[in-house]
């Protein structure tokens, strides 16, 4: 069925109304009843610096490919639920706008994205992406990554490497287990490791694998077939495990039933997300209308959620976004304030066309941060004609189809002879390629575009091409897990909406294309738009102005959360007006994390205080703050010192006001740079007394390390030698020339 359209009862399709009813839904694709952990309360806290491994799935509840992937993911979740706490499975719905920032941090650019995080991962980029989608392949992927962590495996994980003969001999001397199970198998087999992980939450038995190449153990136990299992007891008895079949399930069931083997209590991380009330309130709608609420929701979601997955926008992706906004500006029948926003957003993007645009800057433009004009876009997805019976059905994909059907019709109605016949379709193609989250859906659309889009020669053909392509998608997806049972995917439009559009010939639907084109132009015209369930633009504008009032503080809080090492504006160190105020205003706690830059430190204690109070905490000040305060026209960050990136020029130091300049503080800093502690601006300090002896020699050394001076001396010597060699060579040539010119006797 064509998204955005509701199949009506024959005879009353024009005025069909759906009564408002409550339809119980589920918590999108996954909920607290599944053996999963939700990341909604903090993905960083779960995936980073954890003693467990995590297999994380980032999905979008509306994504058809994610919905089809759910079955395999749930098979895996139940299959490895006993592997916890060594490894957990976790999920996050990126379709929720509240989660879009997290998905961006973990570099999620398509759905579903599955990443494996090793124990004690430090960065969001440490996730190992998994492309396999079959349960068995995903299970083996987990084992491979668990076994690869030889330096820091999960503390709860059993040994997965093959056992050696000496380990077998001394196993019961070094372990308290009652049984040792040896599973002999080929190197490429996973059963031994799977059974070991299955028994992770059980006490009294240890499972180890033995490879076929380990001839000593193979000969000792007279193993002739692989896989084979042997049970070694603490009392010394050894017996072959005879099962109906050599399978993981058979071994696991046998071992759990052994006397003395019992399940232990393990404190596991649970779902940890607030219960979600997904009750769907079915709206009263007119099946023959197009709802502006769906169209604005599509624009809102595409710009604020889909584009937000990319921190930086440049090149083809930025051009795709610019073209998308340009087409909306030209053909979308927007309300006044949205029209103003599209115009300003298009102008802003055009100015940035040769740059790298951050999404944060783009979001400021979308949200009209500067409030220069009365411009606003709805801030919530509010689906009406595209509403599904459950939150994961229809919604955004339906609204995207509806939007571009409308745009192709509007281009045909408003376009001129110079208008490209493929303008809207190329815009849709590039948008789907670079931004549409369901990558499987994007791939299928790209295949259709490659087949026939280039043959379109008129704007009317563009309308028919999109209609035909949409029906091809409906045909392909009819009856699968992505289909809403209340809105089946049929060939559209149905007879109830357009009696003359199709005919049945030999039980096959035959379309009468002139009637289809006429219907499409009428159905997707501006006159057929319904503005029901829309929030007034003046109300939206007032909400926008209130929300942008505290943007700067919110941004600063977000920066601290995502980058704790970056100091906030309120934490920035600024120089005081009086030297005695340094201790109060510029003290940095030793327990506070260091900033990302390496500040130049001035020690603020006198020589006497340093001798008598060595154990007190030093008051330190970032010299960068002094530099920018007193010398805003230059920077200290060009220094090449191997100990400190900042340099102080003696002549500039004299420009400090007397009340601000502390010679002992600078002397301490020079000591930190490797300069002799007794030197300060050509002055030698001995036992607290000033000695001017040798001040000119010492003056040359201020601000330079001994290595710097040594290199200068060496270079001076080499230069002198070169000049001397050149002089001797030229002198020799000159004498030789004179000798040759002299007359022979």
Q: How many CB atoms lie under 10 A from the CB of residue 15? A: 9
Give the separation between CA 24 and CA 389, rounded to whole angstroms: 8
Give the separation between CA 213 and CA 550, rounded to whole angstroms: 67
Catalytic residue among 53, 63, 103, 441: 63
Q: Is 63 considered catalytic here?
A: yes
With beta carbons less than 8 A apart as the criterion, state whether 620 and 587 touch.
Answer: yes
Strands 179-185 and 262-263: what pairing? unpaired
Catalytic residue among 53, 66, 386, 438: 66
Phi and psi angles of residue 334, each rounded to the nearest 5 degrees, phi first: -75, 155
DSSP for residue 17? B
Give the separation between CA 339 and CA 336, rounded to whole angstroms: 5
Give the separation between CA 447 and CA 427, rounded to whole angstroms: 16
C-alpha triplet 216, 221, 225: angle, nearest 5°: 100
Q: How far apart are the first and last CA of the chain?
A: 118
List alpha helices for 208-302, DSSP H.
215-220, 248-256, 292-301
Closest CA to 316 of 420, 430, 422: 430
* Number of separate helices (H) and strands (E) present in the chain: 27, 24
Closest CA to 468 of 481, 455, 479, 487: 455
With beta carbons less than 8 A apart as the criterion, state whether 74 and 405 touch.
Answer: no
Closest CA to 204 of 185, 180, 239: 180
Residue 89, H or E segment = strand 87-93
Give CA 460 to chain center in angstroms: 41
Q: Is 66 considered catalytic here?
A: yes
Q: Provide the sign of the torsion angle of the four alpha carbons 601, 607, 610, 613, taken in this order.
A: negative
Q: Provide the sign of the torsion angle of the four alpha carbons 45, 48, 50, 55, taken in this order.
A: positive
- List active site positions: 63, 66
């Amino acid at each position: 069925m064509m998204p955005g359209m509701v199949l009506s009862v024959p005879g009353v399709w024009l005025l069909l109304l759906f009564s408002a009813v409550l339809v119980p839904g589920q918590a999108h694709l996954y909920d607290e009843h599944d053996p999963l952990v939700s990341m909604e309360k903090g993905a960083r806290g779960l995936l980073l610096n954890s003693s467990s491994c995590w297999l994380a799935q980032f999905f979008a509840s509306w994504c058809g490919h994610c919905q089809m992937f759910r079955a395999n993911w749930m098979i895996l979740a139940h299959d490895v639920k006993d592997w916890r706490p060594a490894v957990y499975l976790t999920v996050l719905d990126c379709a929720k706008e509240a989660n879009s920032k997290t998905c961006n941090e973990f570099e999620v650019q398509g759905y579903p994205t599955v990443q494996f995080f090793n124990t004690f991962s430090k960065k969001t980029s440490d996730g190992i992406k998994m492309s396999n989608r079959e349960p068995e392949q995903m299970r083996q992927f987990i084992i491979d990554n668990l076994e690869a962590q030889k330096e820091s495996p999960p503390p709860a994980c059993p040994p997965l490497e093959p056992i050696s003969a000496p380990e077998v001999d001394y196993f019961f001397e070094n372990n308290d287990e009652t049984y040792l199970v040896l599973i002999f198998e080929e190197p490429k087999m996973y059963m031994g490791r799977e059974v070991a992980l299955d028994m992770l939450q059980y006490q009294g038995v240890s499972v180890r694998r033995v490879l076929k190449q380990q001839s000593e153990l193979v000969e000792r136990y007279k193993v002739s077939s692989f896989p084979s299992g042997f049970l070694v007891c603490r009392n010394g008895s050894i017996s072959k495990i005879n099962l109906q079949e050599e399978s993981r399930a058979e071994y696991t069931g046998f071992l759990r039933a052994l006397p003395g083997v019992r399940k232990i209590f393990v404190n596991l991380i649970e779902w940890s997300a607030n219960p979600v009330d997904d009750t769907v309130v079915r709206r009263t709608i007119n099946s023959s209308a197009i709802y502006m609420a769906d169209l604005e929701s599509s624009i809102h979601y595409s710009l604020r959620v889909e584009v937000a997955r990319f921190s930086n926008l440049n090149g083809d992706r930025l051009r795709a976004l610019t073209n998308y906004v340009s087409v909306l500006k030209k053909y979308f029948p927007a309300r006044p304030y949205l029209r103003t926003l599209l115009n300003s957003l298009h102008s802003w993007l055009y100015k940035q066309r040769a740059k790298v645009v951050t999404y944060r800057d783009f979001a400021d433009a979308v949200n009209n941060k500067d409030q220069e004009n009365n411009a606003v876009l709805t801030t919530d997805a509010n689906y009406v004609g595209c509403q599904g019976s459950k939150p994961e059905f229809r919604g955004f994909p339906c609204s995207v189809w509806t939007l571009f059907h409308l745009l192709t019709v509007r281009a045909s109605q408003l376009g001129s002879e110079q208008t490209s016949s493929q303008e809207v379709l190329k815009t849709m193609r590039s948008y789907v390629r670079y931004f549409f989250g369901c990558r499987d859906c994007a791939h299928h659309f790209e295949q259709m575009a490659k087949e026939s889009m280039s043959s379109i020669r008129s704007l009317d053909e563009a309308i028919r091409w999109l209609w035909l392509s949409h029906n091809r998608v409906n045909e392909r997806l009819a009856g699968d897990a992505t289909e809403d049972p209340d809105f089946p995917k049929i060939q559209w439009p149905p007879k109830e909406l357009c009696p003359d559009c199709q005919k049945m010939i030999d039980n096959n639907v035959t379309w009468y294309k002139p009637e289809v084109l006429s219907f499409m132009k009428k159905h997707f015209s501006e006159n057929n738009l319904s503005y029901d369930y829309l929030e007034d633009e003046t109300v939206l504008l007032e909400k926008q102005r209130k929300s942008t009032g505290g943007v700067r503080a919110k941004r600063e809080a977000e920066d601290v959360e995502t980058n704790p090492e970056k100091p906030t504006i309120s934490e920035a160190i600024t120089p005081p007006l009086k030297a005695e105020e340094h201790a109060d205003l510029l003290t940095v706690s030793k327990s506070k994390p260091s900033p990302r830059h390496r500040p130049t430190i001035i020690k603020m204690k006198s020589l006497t205080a340093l001798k008598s109070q060595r154990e007190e905490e030093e008051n330190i000040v970032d010299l960068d703050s002094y530099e920018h305060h007193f010398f805003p026209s230059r920077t200290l960050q060009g220094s090449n010192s191997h100990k400190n990136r900042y340099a102080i020029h003696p002549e500039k130091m004299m420009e400090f006001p007397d009340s601000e300049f502390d010679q002992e503080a600078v002397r301490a800093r020079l000591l930190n740079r490797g300069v002799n502690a007794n030197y300060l601006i050509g002055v030698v300090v001995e036992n607290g007394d000033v000695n001017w002896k040798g001040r000119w020699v010492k003056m040359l050394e201020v601000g330079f390390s001994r290595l710097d001076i040594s290199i200068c001396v060496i270079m001076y010597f080499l230069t002198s030698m070169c000049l001397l060699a050149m002089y001797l060579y030229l002198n020799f040539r000159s004498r030789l020339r004179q000798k040759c010119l002299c007359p022979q006797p």
